[in-house]
Structure 1
Protein backbone atom coordinates (compact mmCIF):
# COMPACT_ATOMS: atom_id res chain seq x y z
CA UNK A 1 0.00 0.00 0.00
CA UNK A 2 1.37 3.39 -0.86
CA UNK A 3 2.38 5.91 1.79
CA UNK A 4 0.34 8.99 0.91
CA UNK A 5 0.71 11.14 4.02
CA UNK A 6 -0.61 10.99 7.56
CA UNK A 7 -2.66 7.97 8.61
CA UNK A 8 -5.10 10.40 10.25
CA UNK A 9 -6.39 11.46 6.82
CA UNK A 10 -7.49 7.85 6.16
CA UNK A 11 -9.58 7.41 9.33
CA UNK A 12 -13.29 7.20 8.59
CA UNK A 13 -16.31 6.71 10.85
CA UNK A 14 -17.51 3.67 8.91
CA UNK A 15 -15.73 1.51 6.35
CA UNK A 16 -17.37 0.37 3.10
CA UNK A 17 -15.93 -3.15 3.20
CA UNK A 18 -16.22 -6.42 5.11
CA UNK A 19 -13.76 -5.59 7.89
CA UNK A 20 -13.44 -9.19 9.14
CA UNK A 21 -12.54 -10.50 5.68
CA UNK A 22 -10.00 -7.71 5.16
CA UNK A 23 -8.45 -8.29 8.60
CA UNK A 24 -8.13 -12.03 7.97
CA UNK A 25 -6.46 -11.34 4.63
CA UNK A 26 -4.02 -8.79 6.04
CA UNK A 27 -3.07 -11.00 9.00
CA UNK A 28 -2.34 -13.95 6.73
CA UNK A 29 -0.02 -12.31 4.22
CA UNK A 30 3.32 -13.89 3.38
CA UNK A 31 6.06 -12.64 5.70
CA UNK A 32 8.82 -10.95 3.72
CA UNK A 33 10.91 -9.46 6.51
CA UNK A 34 10.90 -9.47 10.31
CA UNK A 35 12.77 -7.10 12.60
CA UNK A 36 12.84 -7.32 16.43
CA UNK A 37 11.80 -3.68 16.81
CA UNK A 38 8.71 -2.61 18.78
CA UNK A 39 5.85 -1.10 16.80
CA UNK A 40 3.86 1.74 18.36
CA UNK A 41 0.42 3.14 17.57
CA UNK A 42 1.34 6.46 15.98
CA UNK A 43 -1.87 8.05 17.26
CA UNK A 44 -1.94 6.91 20.92
CA UNK A 45 1.73 5.99 21.44
CA UNK A 46 0.78 2.54 22.80
CA UNK A 47 3.07 -0.37 21.92
CA UNK A 48 1.14 -2.76 19.67
CA UNK A 49 3.80 -5.30 18.72
CA UNK A 50 7.27 -6.38 19.81
CA UNK A 51 8.39 -6.87 16.20
CA UNK A 52 8.12 -5.17 12.85
CA UNK A 53 7.04 -7.41 9.98
CA UNK A 54 6.54 -6.71 6.29
CA UNK A 55 3.86 -8.84 4.60
CA UNK A 56 2.74 -9.29 1.01
CA UNK A 57 0.26 -11.06 -1.19
CA UNK A 58 2.53 -10.80 -4.22
CA UNK A 59 0.89 -7.59 -5.42
CA UNK A 60 0.52 -5.41 -2.32
CA UNK A 61 2.99 -4.91 0.54
CA UNK A 62 2.01 -3.78 4.06
CA UNK A 63 3.35 -3.68 7.61
CA UNK A 64 2.03 -5.91 10.38
CA UNK A 65 0.43 -2.91 12.09
CA UNK A 66 -2.04 -2.27 9.25
CA UNK A 67 -4.64 -4.77 10.57
CA UNK A 68 -4.46 -3.03 13.95
CA UNK A 69 -5.21 0.36 12.38
CA UNK A 70 -7.98 -1.08 10.18
CA UNK A 71 -9.61 -2.65 13.23
CA UNK A 72 -9.15 0.20 15.72
CA UNK A 73 -9.44 3.29 13.52
CA UNK A 74 -11.46 2.20 10.43
CA UNK A 75 -8.75 2.98 7.92
CA UNK A 76 -9.93 3.67 4.38
CA UNK A 77 -8.11 1.28 2.04
CA UNK A 78 -7.60 1.50 -1.74
CA UNK A 79 -10.68 0.30 -3.61
CA UNK A 80 -8.55 -1.90 -5.87
CA UNK A 81 -7.25 -3.76 -2.79
CA UNK A 82 -10.75 -4.20 -1.35
CA UNK A 83 -12.01 -5.56 -4.69
CA UNK A 84 -9.08 -7.99 -4.86
CA UNK A 85 -9.79 -9.36 -1.38
CA UNK A 86 -13.58 -9.35 -1.39
CA UNK A 87 -14.11 -9.90 -5.08
Structure 2
Protein backbone atom coordinates (compact mmCIF):
# COMPACT_ATOMS: atom_id res chain seq x y z
CA UNK A 1 0.00 0.00 0.00
CA UNK A 2 1.41 3.34 -1.09
CA UNK A 3 0.00 6.68 0.03
CA UNK A 4 -0.55 9.13 -2.81
CA UNK A 5 -0.58 12.79 -1.86
CA UNK A 6 1.11 12.02 1.46
CA UNK A 7 1.29 15.62 2.65
CA UNK A 8 1.40 16.59 6.31
CA UNK A 9 -1.84 18.59 5.98
CA UNK A 10 -3.79 15.60 4.65
CA UNK A 11 -2.62 12.53 6.60
CA UNK A 12 -2.18 11.85 10.32
CA UNK A 13 1.33 11.42 11.71
CA UNK A 14 0.56 7.76 12.45
CA UNK A 15 0.75 7.15 8.70
CA UNK A 16 4.51 7.74 8.68
CA UNK A 17 6.82 10.40 7.36
CA UNK A 18 4.95 12.74 4.99
CA UNK A 19 6.41 14.01 1.72
CA UNK A 20 6.31 17.56 3.08
CA UNK A 21 3.76 20.35 2.79
CA UNK A 22 1.24 20.34 -0.02
CA UNK A 23 2.01 23.99 -0.88
CA UNK A 24 5.54 22.93 -1.84
CA UNK A 25 4.16 20.56 -4.49
CA UNK A 26 2.21 23.19 -6.46
CA UNK A 27 3.19 23.47 -10.13
CA UNK A 28 2.52 26.38 -12.46
CA UNK A 29 1.74 24.22 -15.48
CA UNK A 30 -0.61 21.22 -15.56
CA UNK A 31 0.40 17.92 -17.08
CA UNK A 32 -0.89 17.57 -20.65
CA UNK A 33 -3.16 14.71 -19.53
CA UNK A 34 -4.00 16.12 -16.11
CA UNK A 35 -7.77 16.05 -16.66
CA UNK A 36 -7.56 12.30 -17.36
CA UNK A 37 -5.55 11.76 -14.17
CA UNK A 38 -8.08 13.82 -12.21
CA UNK A 39 -10.84 11.54 -13.52
CA UNK A 40 -8.83 8.46 -12.53
CA UNK A 41 -8.55 9.80 -8.97
CA UNK A 42 -12.26 10.58 -8.85
CA UNK A 43 -13.18 7.07 -10.05
CA UNK A 44 -11.03 5.13 -7.57
CA UNK A 45 -12.51 2.37 -5.41
CA UNK A 46 -13.97 3.61 -2.12
CA UNK A 47 -12.18 2.18 0.90
CA UNK A 48 -14.24 4.18 3.33
CA UNK A 49 -16.47 7.20 3.07
CA UNK A 50 -16.63 10.16 5.39
CA UNK A 51 -19.60 12.50 5.28
CA UNK A 52 -19.05 16.21 5.41
CA UNK A 53 -17.04 18.79 3.54
CA UNK A 54 -13.31 19.36 3.78
CA UNK A 55 -11.92 22.88 3.60
CA UNK A 56 -9.22 23.60 1.04
CA UNK A 57 -6.01 23.42 3.10
CA UNK A 58 -4.40 25.87 0.69
CA UNK A 59 -6.84 28.61 1.56
CA UNK A 60 -9.49 29.01 -1.12
CA UNK A 61 -13.12 29.13 -0.02
CA UNK A 62 -13.82 25.85 -1.80
CA UNK A 63 -15.11 22.90 0.22
CA UNK A 64 -14.67 19.34 -1.03
CA UNK A 65 -17.65 17.09 -0.31
CA UNK A 66 -16.50 13.80 1.19
CA UNK A 67 -12.90 14.98 0.94
CA UNK A 68 -11.78 12.98 3.97
CA UNK A 69 -12.89 9.73 2.32
CA UNK A 70 -10.16 7.35 1.15
CA UNK A 71 -9.94 5.69 -2.27
CA UNK A 72 -7.65 3.19 -3.96
CA UNK A 73 -6.69 1.49 -7.19
CA UNK A 74 -5.46 -1.60 -5.38
CA UNK A 75 -1.89 -0.38 -5.04
CA UNK A 76 -2.14 3.29 -4.11
CA UNK A 77 -4.48 4.93 -1.61
CA UNK A 78 -5.46 8.61 -1.61
CA UNK A 79 -7.83 11.04 0.00
CA UNK A 80 -10.86 11.76 -2.16
CA UNK A 81 -9.93 15.46 -2.09
CA UNK A 82 -6.73 14.78 -4.05
CA UNK A 83 -8.51 15.24 -7.40
CA UNK A 84 -9.34 18.82 -6.31
CA UNK A 85 -5.72 19.71 -5.48
CA UNK A 86 -4.47 18.26 -8.75
CA UNK A 87 -7.16 20.03 -10.77
CA UNK A 88 -6.87 23.41 -9.06
CA UNK A 89 -3.20 23.62 -8.05
CA UNK A 90 -1.57 21.09 -10.40
CA UNK A 91 0.23 19.44 -7.49
CA UNK A 92 3.09 17.13 -8.34
CA UNK A 93 2.39 13.42 -8.02
CA UNK A 94 5.00 10.64 -8.12
CA UNK A 95 6.14 9.57 -11.59
CA UNK A 96 5.56 5.97 -10.55
CA UNK A 97 1.84 6.70 -10.07
CA UNK A 98 1.51 8.81 -13.23
CA UNK A 99 3.20 6.07 -15.29
CA UNK A 100 0.81 3.46 -13.87
CA UNK A 101 -2.26 5.57 -14.67
CA UNK A 102 -1.06 6.07 -18.23
CA UNK A 103 -0.27 2.36 -18.61
CA UNK A 104 -3.86 1.58 -17.56
CA UNK A 105 -5.09 4.09 -20.14
CA UNK A 106 -6.63 6.16 -17.32
CA UNK A 107 -9.01 3.34 -16.30
CA UNK A 108 -9.03 2.27 -12.65
CA UNK A 109 -8.34 -1.48 -12.64
CA UNK A 110 -10.63 -4.09 -11.16
CA UNK A 111 -9.67 -4.88 -7.56
CA UNK A 112 -11.09 -7.88 -5.68
CA UNK A 113 -13.28 -7.04 -2.67
CA UNK A 114 -10.94 -9.01 -0.42
CA UNK A 115 -8.03 -6.71 -1.31
CA UNK A 116 -10.15 -3.60 -0.85
CA UNK A 117 -11.20 -4.89 2.59
CA UNK A 118 -7.56 -5.52 3.49
CA UNK A 119 -6.55 -2.03 2.37
CA UNK A 120 -9.46 -0.47 4.26
CA UNK A 121 -8.32 -2.25 7.44
CA UNK A 122 -4.78 -0.87 6.98
CA UNK A 123 -6.12 2.65 6.46
CA UNK A 124 -8.23 2.45 9.63
CA UNK A 125 -5.07 1.48 11.56
CA UNK A 126 -3.27 4.66 10.50
CA UNK A 127 -6.26 6.99 10.56
Normalising by structure 2, report the TM-score. 0.63
Going from structure 1 to structure 2, the CA distance change for 1:8 and 1:17 (only over 3 Å counts) comes to: same
The structure with the greater share of residues assigned to strand is 1
Match of 1:5 among 20, 24, 27: 20
Considering only CA atoms, is the larger Rg found in Structure 1 or Structure 2?
2
* Residue 93 of structure 2, aligned match among 74, 77, 80: 77
Q: CA deviation at 1:45?
A: 4.9
- Distance in structure 1 (CA, Å) of the matches to 2:65 and 2:96: 30
Instruction: Quote the RMSD (CA, aligned, Å).
Output: 1.5
Q: Is the 8 A contact 1:53 1:64 kept in 2?
A: yes
C-alpha displacement of 1:70: 0.3
Residue 77 of structure 2 is matched in structure 1 by 61
Gaps of 5+ in 1: none
Q: CA separation in 2, counterparts of 1:16 and 1:47?
A: 22
Q: CA deviation at 1:16?
A: 3.6
Consecutive unaligned residues in structure 2, runs of 5 or more? 8-18, 104-127
